[in-house]
């Protein structure tokens, strides 16, 4: 894992406190630990099958809304 730039870890158990994760992070790797995810979620009809460009568009629009405000209620 130390030699990777980005890691997507679909695991049964958390890797947060492992030496491998710590070493990879120290070496600069970005890690998405996805505890409880399944491979099926990444299939065409799975939960992760979204239009990421649309997600980015909506996220950027929402991020601009609270600009200059002292308080935001969700």
Q: What are the tens digits of pLDDT across the range 40-71?
A: 888 999 988 999 999 999 999 988 888 788 88
Q: Is residue 72 part of a domain?
A: no
Question: The tokens of 24 are what?
Answer: 């990879």
How many domains would you assign to the chain? 1
Q: Is residue 17 part of a domain?
A: yes
pTM over 0.95: no
Mean pLDDT computed over every residue of the chain: 90
pLDDT at 64: 85
Domain that holds residue 10: 6-64
Beta bridge partners of 7: 31
Q: Is residue 73 part of a domain?
A: no
């Amino acid at each position: 894992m130390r030699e990777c730039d980005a890691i997507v870890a679909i695991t049964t158990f958390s890797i947060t406190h492992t030496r491998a994760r710590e070493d990879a992070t120290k070496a600069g790797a970005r890690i998405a630990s996805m505890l409880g995810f399944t491979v099926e979620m990444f299939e065409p009809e799975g939960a992760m099958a979204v239009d990421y460009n649309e997600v980015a568009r909506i996220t950027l629009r929402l991020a601009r809304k609270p600009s200059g405000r002292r308080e935001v209620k969700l």
